[in-house]
Amino acid sequence: MTLKLAKRGQIPPFIVMDVMRAAFEREQAKGDVLHLEVGQPSTPAPQGVITAAKAALEAENLGYTDALGIPQLRARIALHYQSWYGIDVPLERIIVTTGSSGAFVLAFLAGFDPGDRVAVAEPGYPCYRNILSALGIEPVPIVTTGASRYQPSIELLEAVQGSLDGLIVASPSNPTGTMLSSSELEALADYCGARGIRLISDEIYHGITYGERAASALQFTDNAIVVNSFSKYFSMTGWRLGWAILPEDLTRASERLAQNLYISPPSLSQHAALAAFDCHDELQANVARYAANRELLLENLPLAGFARLAPAQGAFYIYADIAGLTNDSEDFCRRMLAETGVATTPGIDFDPGRGHGFMRFSFAGATTDMAEATERLKAWLA
């Protein structure tokens, strides 16, 4: 007898993870891969975090913590919002989570019922739509273009057929690195507030910008769900720690869900993360390296044949239109890895409809790797 398979497990893969596995397999076999596929800083956690982790291993009882996170870390996150944005966030609205992924699961479960409709920009982070689909929530694609910097707008929302229960925005975004201006984010917050649409603002790349600083949705509304993470700016991907700022009506529901789904975030990571907010000099040096990598790629990728690039205002990605080179981005990236050792991510991970003609470069790695990658690509496409 064939056993039933649940439909929720039939969501698409997170393709960048498949690419990363293929890159590691090549690396083990040939020892020659330049990792431009994954959005992971090549630098370790800040030294202060590592020192705090070592101290916690000796001094702390690293058992379960409160499901909302240790009070000291929640208070430090509140201070971060005061110092960065001038916002006073009550402690009871802050929940520490198992990565930003845990924050999205809690927010989606607490904020939406099966059958609700949540707008997501395409191209966009694939896990938004995949998590929503697994939970029985309908992701509603908002097809964006370079003309709008691949960001949603009120005009695009007005064109959606049927009502919306939620909207996810990301500024800076993955995969394009583009940003919403303060006025654009405020307009979207006002639009959602007037229509009873829950606004979820993904702010995990805040701190990594190349010009104007990113605005937080909390500067314009108390009703947004704001998600952030220690993975990107704080260079702590494997520590699996994030947080969410919740509107008051979702705090207790999210706490109950966290208690049952996760018990608590990783204890060691929480105690170590207390030191992360005191490491900005080291973290800003990382951002300076990303800025140098960005300039190097924006200058050299067109020379290799990648002429149409998103502006990359923040984060550490460049999204390239490669329709003049291929109509199969997955095969193109697979051949690129096999023939050059440069690992990149096909656009279909971010845009199922049009991503066959796009790809993403991550410049979170070493500058020497970026330079070598562009030289290999120039030779490959010559």
Per-residue pLDDT, 80: 98
The C-alpha atoms of residue 11 and residue 226 are separated, in whole angstroms, by: 25
Per-residue pLDDT, 262: 95
The C-alpha atoms of residue 345 and residue 65 are separated, in whole angstroms, by: 37
CB proximity list for 52: less than 8 A, separation 6 or greater:
271, 272, 274, 275
Which residue in the block uniquely carries the two structure tokens 């096909």?
Answer: 346
Cβ–Cβ < 8 Å for 297, 374: yes
- pLDDT digits over 306-329, tens only? 999 999 999 999 999 999 999 999
Per-residue pLDDT, 347: 95
Per-residue pLDDT, 28: 85
Q: Report the CATH number at residue 249.
A: 3.40.640.10
The answer to whether residues 40 and 56 belong to one domain is no
Q: What is the DSSP letter of 276?
A: G
Q: What is the DSSP letter of 316?
A: T
The answer to whether residues 154 and 246 belong to one domain is yes
The C-alpha atoms of residue 195 and residue 163 are separated, in whole angstroms, by: 9
The answer to whether residues 218 and 351 belong to one domain is no
Q: Which of 217, 244, 278 is the last residue of a domain?
A: 278
Which neighbouring-strand residues pair with 225?
A: 200
The C-alpha atoms of residue 202 and residue 362 are separated, in whole angstroms, by: 18
The C-alpha atoms of residue 301 and residue 296 are separated, in whole angstroms, by: 8
CB proximity list for 352: less than 8 A, separation 6 or greater:
12, 122
Which residue in the block uniquely carries the two structure tokens 């929503």?
Answer: 132
Per-residue pLDDT, 27: 83
The answer to whether residues 71 and 171 belong to one domain is yes
**Which has the closest alpha carbon to 111: 217, 245, 247, 221?**
247
- pLDDT digits over 34-66, tens only? 999 988 999 999 999 999 999 999 987 899 999
- Low-confidence residues of the chain, pLDDT below 70? none
Which amino acid is residue 338, in one-letter code?
Answer: A
| Angle between helical axes of 329-340 and 15-30 (0-180°, round to 10) | 20
Q: Which of 260, 278, 296 is the last residue of a domain?
A: 278
Beta strands in the chain (DSSP E): 34-35, 94-97, 117-122, 138-143, 166-170, 198-202, 225-229, 242-245, 308-309, 317-321, 342-343, 345-346, 358-362
Q: Which of 259, 278, 297 is the last residue of a domain?
A: 278
β-pair type (138-143, 117-122): parallel
Which neighbouring-strand residues pair with 95?
A: 244
Domain that holds residue 284: 8-45+280-380
The answer to whether residues 337 and 193 belong to one domain is no
Per-residue pLDDT, 169: 98
The answer to whether residues 199 and 328 belong to one domain is no
* Core vs surface per residue 5-19: b (16+ CB within 10 A) or e: eeeeeeeeeebbeeb
